[in-house]
Amino acid sequence: GQLGNDKIPNYQFYSTVSSVGSPTLNGVAFASVAQNRMANSTIKWEVTTQTDIGIDLGFMNNKLLITADYYDKKTTDILVRVPLVSSYGVGEAPFRNAGTVRNKGFEFGAAYRGGNKKKLGYEISANIAHVKNKLETLGVTGAKEIFTSDYKNTQVGRIAEGEPIGHFYVLNALGIFQTQQEIDNYKDKNGNMIQPLAVPGDLKFEDVNGDGVISANDRVNAGSSFPTFTYSLNGSVNYGRFDFNMMWTGSQGNKIFNGLDLGGILMQGAGYNNKTEILNRWTPSHTNTDIPRVSMKDLNRNNTYSTLYIEDGSYLRLKYLTFGYSFGENIIGKNISKLRVFATFQNLLTFTKYSGFDPEIGADVDYSSNIYGVDRGAYPQARTYILGVNFNF
């Protein structure tokens, strides 16, 4: 099947102007405007073509249910803003139909219902999903990549042909220089020091292209913000008038750019609090750490976006846990058909290696739809305790 998508702001086929101040000529002020968005009168809907093969099975009078699904989804003429060169003098790039993206994946689910009809009933279900995406072509002449996911005026992500969307593109931090001899011995093929401004306690960066200089050209694909797979587990039990429900959710294989560490462990100056992890920084007497030394004069640029800030975002979370009890007719009478009291706990437990507030980062809708898995310090999902009463007349 095929579906169209036009979900971009309205009137993108018009160019717009905005006020740029009030210049004066011979002492007289004039209102002035300038173009701030270029028009694109040729844009059209993007199109998604999807092939889906699925099967649903029921066994033992539908006590055991199994569902499996495989899909291959190809999106063409994608509506995206392709950056303009600054010489255009326009701040907002127009939308274009550019690029082809393919998503392939599978979903598998199973559920089992058991117990006896008189007193005990239970159901257990689980599902797992995997998706692999790739930008097949950018659709722009002479361009093979777009740098995106802006954070503090620097791009931490990249969209490139032949690679997954949403991957981080940063320098590869190899560890911390422990001695001056290590710095002196880190040389290029011509015998020149690669990081001559470094001192013990500074980060060591990989010279990927071998030119002897650490620069933006040495950035690497440091992992994707999209998980390898997501999963969930649900369970419910009814015993007499008691009921119990729980839901576990999780993801595996996704990465997170911990932006809080950028300002919290490297003494970035006024305007930033420091994290307690800064107490574990490198010092001549404390070298067993992965946090570089503290310096207000960072000649080595330890704060350059690197794998130092990339963390494993995998997690397992107890999303919901509910206990309930329904009263019988001998207590509630005939005027009320149902009276149930319950206690619900949300986000009660989370198991993760991520050091930030919450591993469920998602997209940063306040900045750009292209930003995924960048932790700017978003407020974490609260652990919630709910007591309630349900009744029907």
The pLDDT tens digits for 223-233 are 988 899 999 99
Residue 378's pLDDT is: 79
Residue 271 pLDDT level (bands cut at 50, 70, 90): low
Residue scoring higher pLDDT (347 or 119): 347
- Are 218 and 195 in contact by the 8 Å Cβ rule? The answer is no
Show the tokens assigned to 340: 């149930």
Please tell me the distance from the alpha carbon of residue 347 to that of residue 324, in angstroms, as a whole number: 18
Work out the average pLDDT over 53-74: 95
Q: Which of 246, 248, 254 is nearest to 359 (CA)?
A: 254
Which of the four pLDDT bands, split at 50, 70 and 90, describes residue 174?
A: very high
Residues 176 and 201: their CA atoms lie apart, in Å, by 6
Phi-psi region of 328 (alpha: psi -120 to 50; beta: other; left: phi over 0): beta
pLDDT tens column, 348-363? 999 999 998 999 986 6
Asked if the model's pLDDT at residue 244 lies above 90, the reply is: yes
CA gap 211, 384 in Å, rounded: 54
- pLDDT of 328 > 80? The answer is no
Mean pLDDT of 47-67: 95
- Residue predicted with more confidence, 373 or 283: 283
DSSP code per residue over 274-342? PPGGGGG--BTTB-S-SSPPP-SS-TT-TTSSBGGGEEE--EEEEEEEEEEEE--HHHH-SS-SEEEEE
pTM for this predicted structure: 0.82
Distance CA(318)–CA(316), nearest Å, equals 7
Confidence of residue 196 (pLDDT cuts 50, 70, 90): very high
State what percent of residues in the chain have pLDDT above 70. Answer: 91
276 vs 235, higher pLDDT: 235
Q: Does the pLDDT at position 165 exceed 90? A: no
Give the pLDDT score at 143: 63
SS3 262: helix
**pLDDT band for position 63 (50/70/90)?**
very high
* Predicted confidence (pLDDT) at residue 155 exceeds the cutoff of 80: no
- CA-to-CA distance for 106 and 131, rounded, in angstroms? 7
In this predicted structure, what is the pLDDT of residue 222? 93
Radius of gyration of the chain (CA): 28
Q: Write out pLDDT tens, residues 89-136.
A: 777 778 888 889 999 999 999 999 998 767 899 999 999 999 998 888
Confidence of residue 367 (pLDDT cuts 50, 70, 90): very low
* Nearby residues of 347 by Cβ (< 8 Å), 6 or more positions away: 317, 318, 319, 381, 382, 383, 384
Q: How far apart are CA 18 and CA 206, in angstroms?
A: 45
Both tokens assigned to 215: 């620069």
